[in-house]
């Protein structure tokens, strides 16, 4: 592969861990790194995922340094035998690994705060290439490091998202800025991105609504990314010219106008944060009765700091008997219409609100699969109920596709969006 003429401002992320390849967990670190580097004018052009084999890591490293001036690795810095990032970097660069005093002291201090002393495996975390700069870990025990080799800056960070994010903000960005200070004289500009989160509209329909929004003459890229929680729309441009001229701002207004109610959040906001702010501002409380989602709605709501002000309680009523005993769902409804029905969803929401006295109660019941379906009730059928104390409980039917996990994620997002829209109506009527 022929390297770019100037790879100084090109970055690549490498996520290390065999669990990322076999479905144990997904890589969320690269998106955070991409945004952080973009803000200072560094474009992430490549992303790699590799397992824990040292020779495989070395192969990916060699390819990365041929096309990127900054290579950020996440993962493989822990205390176990399958953590081989530091050894792979040492093998590629020829650097000697040594216990670095600052790394060892930082690790001991962190473990002491947890009432622990480092064992033999954890001492490996202080092994850092002798020429590298040690990057302290303000959250965890494993330090990171930065090493320049043949014009490429290798930056190794732990794979734990909370640790990685803290280190990127406190160490990596200042390090990169210091190394690329001359870029200011070259007129280097930050990559600017505006993001709009939508729910309820298929990606093809979102694309159709935004057709013709961005022309080839504009220095702005329009992006769409579909996921179980909706379609992310992004407007990206390098430099502040588009912002100063008002192009980015006017395009953002046009996105809002074209997508309207389907946009539930912008920037880094999540659905649960938006719902939480609405509940808080209106002084309302919520309780949740969940069947097929198994507590995931409550989990999402309580992910937001301060949610105890508006989240009252949640109940996982998985069995028919639980719905009857805990929520007072009439047994006749269950037997006549089935647990997965509009009638039972309404009764669940009503029962939860009456028992708790909250402002609004949500319920969800459905078939997440892969089993449990019938000819009239397929996998993916979900009913959501909302009781806000009015004359009638609101219910909606959904037909989701995907595997069990995806159906559950979509059911949670639909329930939260249903609550969001109800709160917006109440806000408008206030």
Q: Which tokens sit at 377?
A: 């009730």
Cα distance between residue 156 and residue 138, in whole Å = 15
- Domain-ending residue, one of 233, 266, 299: 266
Of 208, 257, 260, 202, nearest in space to 231 by CA? 202
Number of compact structural domains in the chain? 3
User: Does residue 83 sit within a domain?
Assistant: yes
Cα distance between residue 167 and residue 18, in whole Å = 23
237 and 297, same domain (yes or no): no
- Domain-ending residue, one of 117, 150, 184: 184
300 and 355, same domain (yes or no): yes
262 and 275, same domain (yes or no): no
257 and 292, same domain (yes or no): no
Per-residue confidence (pLDDT) for residue 20, from 0 to 100:
85
Per-residue confidence (pLDDT) for residue 221, from 0 to 100:
86
Using DSSP, state whether 69 is helix, strand or coil: coil
The domain that contains 102 carries what CATH number?
Answer: 3.40.980.10
* Domain with 365 in it: 271-429
281 and 216, same domain (yes or no): no
User: Does residue 4 sit within a domain?
Assistant: no
The DSSP output letter for 75 is: S
Instruction: Summarize the chain as % helix, strand, coil (round to 5).
Output: 40, 25, 35
Residues with Cβ within 8 Å of 369's Cβ and at least 6 positions away in sequence, in order, are: 379, 380, 403, 404, 407
Residues with Cβ within 8 Å of 363's Cβ and at least 6 positions away in sequence, in order, are: 288, 289, 290, 291, 345, 346, 348, 349, 352, 384, 385, 386, 387
- Domain-ending residue, one of 246, 266, 286: 266
Most distant CA pair in the chain, distance: 76
**Cα distances (Å, whole numbers) of residue 79 to 16, 129, 141:** 15, 16, 10
CA-atom Rg of the chain in angstroms: 25
146 and 199, same domain (yes or no): no
User: Does residue 71 sit within a domain?
Assistant: yes
The DSSP output letter for 184 is: G
**pLDDT over 70 for what percent of the chain?**
93
User: Does residue 317 sit within a domain?
Assistant: yes
Using DSSP, state whether 201 is helix, strand or coil: coil
- For every residue of 161-183, DSSP letters joined together read HHHHHHHIIIIIHHHHHHHTGGG
40 and 170, same domain (yes or no): yes
Could you tell me if residue 145 is left (phi over 0), alpha (psi between -120 and 50 degrees) or otherwise beta?
beta
147 and 76, same domain (yes or no): yes
314 and 364, same domain (yes or no): yes
User: Does residue 5 sit within a domain?
Assistant: no
Using DSSP, state whether 204 is helix, strand or coil: helix
Contact 414, 401 (CB under 8 A): no
How many residues comprise the chain?
430
The domain that contains 377 carries what CATH number?
Answer: 3.90.950.20
User: Does residue 275 sit within a domain?
Assistant: yes
Could you tell me if residue 75 is left (phi over 0), alpha (psi between -120 and 50 degrees) or otherwise beta?
left
The domain that contains 258 carries what CATH number?
Answer: 3.30.70.2860
Contact 43, 10 (CB under 8 A): yes
Per-residue confidence (pLDDT) for residue 240, from 0 to 100:
60
User: Does residue 1 sit within a domain?
Assistant: no
pTM above 0.85, yes or no: no
How far the first Cα of the chain sits from its last, in Å, is 62
Cα distance between residue 4 and residue 69, in whole Å = 10
288 and 318, same domain (yes or no): yes
Intervals of the chain under pLDDT 70: 1-6, 23-25, 181-191, 238-246, 430
Per-residue confidence (pLDDT) for residue 194, from 0 to 100:
87
Beta-carbon neighbour count of residue 330 at 10 Å?
14
Distance of CA 10 to the CA centre of its chain: 24
Cα distance between residue 361 and residue 418, in whole Å = 11
The DSSP output letter for 236 is: E
37 and 174, same domain (yes or no): yes
258 and 323, same domain (yes or no): no
Contact 238, 41 (CB under 8 A): yes
């Amino acid at each position: 592969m022929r390297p770019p003429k100037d790879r100084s401002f090109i970055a690549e992320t490498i996520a290390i861990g065999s669990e990322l390849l076999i479905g144990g967990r997904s890589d969320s670190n690269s998106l955070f790194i991409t945004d952080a580097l973009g803000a200072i004018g560094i474009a992430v052009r490549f992303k790699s995922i590799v397992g824990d084999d040292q020779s495989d890591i070395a192969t990916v490293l060699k390819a990365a340094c041929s096309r990127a001036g900054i290579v950020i690795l996440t993962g493989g810095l822990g205390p176990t035998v399958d953590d081989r990032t530091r050894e792979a970097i040492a093998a590629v660069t020829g650097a000697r690994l040594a216990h670095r005093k600052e790394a060892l002291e930082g690790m001991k201090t962190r473990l002491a705060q947890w009432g622990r002393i480092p064992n033999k495996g954890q001492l490996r975390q202080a092994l850092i290439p002798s020429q590298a700069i040690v990057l302290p870990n303000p959250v965890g025990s494993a330090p990171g490091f930065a090493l320049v080799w043949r014009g490429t800056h290798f930056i190794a960070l732990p794979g734990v998202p909370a640790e990685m994010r803290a280190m990127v903000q406190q160490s990596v960005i200042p390090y990169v800025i210091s190394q690329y200070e001359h870029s200011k004289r070259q007129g280097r500009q930050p990559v600017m991105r505006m993001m709009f989160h939508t729910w309820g509209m298929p990606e093809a329909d979102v694309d159709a609504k935004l057709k013709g929004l961005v022309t080839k003459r504009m220095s702005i890229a329009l992006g769409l990314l579909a996921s179980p929680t909706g379609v992310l729309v992004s407007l990206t441009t390098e430099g502040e010219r588009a912002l100063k001229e008002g192009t980015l701002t006017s395009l953002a207004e046009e996105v809002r106008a074209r997508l309207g109610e389907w946009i539930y959040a912008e920037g880094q906001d999540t659905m649960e944060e938006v719902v939480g702010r609405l509940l808080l501002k209106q002084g309302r409380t919520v309780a949740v009765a969940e069947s097929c989602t198994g507590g995931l709605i409550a989990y999402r709501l309580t992910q937001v700091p301060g949610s105890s002000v508006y989240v009252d309680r949640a109940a996982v009523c998985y069995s028919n008997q639980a719905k009857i005993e805990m929520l007072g769902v009439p047994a006749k409804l269950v037997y006549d219409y089935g647990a997965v029905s509009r009638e039972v969803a309404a009764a669940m929401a009503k029962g939860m609100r009456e028992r708790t006295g909250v402002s609004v109660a949500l319920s969800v019941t459905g078939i997440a699969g892969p089993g449990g379906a019938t000819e009239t009730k397929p996998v993916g059928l979900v009913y959501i109920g909302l009781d806000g104390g009015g004359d009638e409980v609101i219910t909606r039917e959904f037909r989701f596709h995907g595997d069990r996990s995806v159906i559950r994620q979509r059911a949670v997002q639909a329930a939260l969006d249903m609550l969001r829209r109800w709160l917006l109506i109440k806000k408008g009527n206030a």
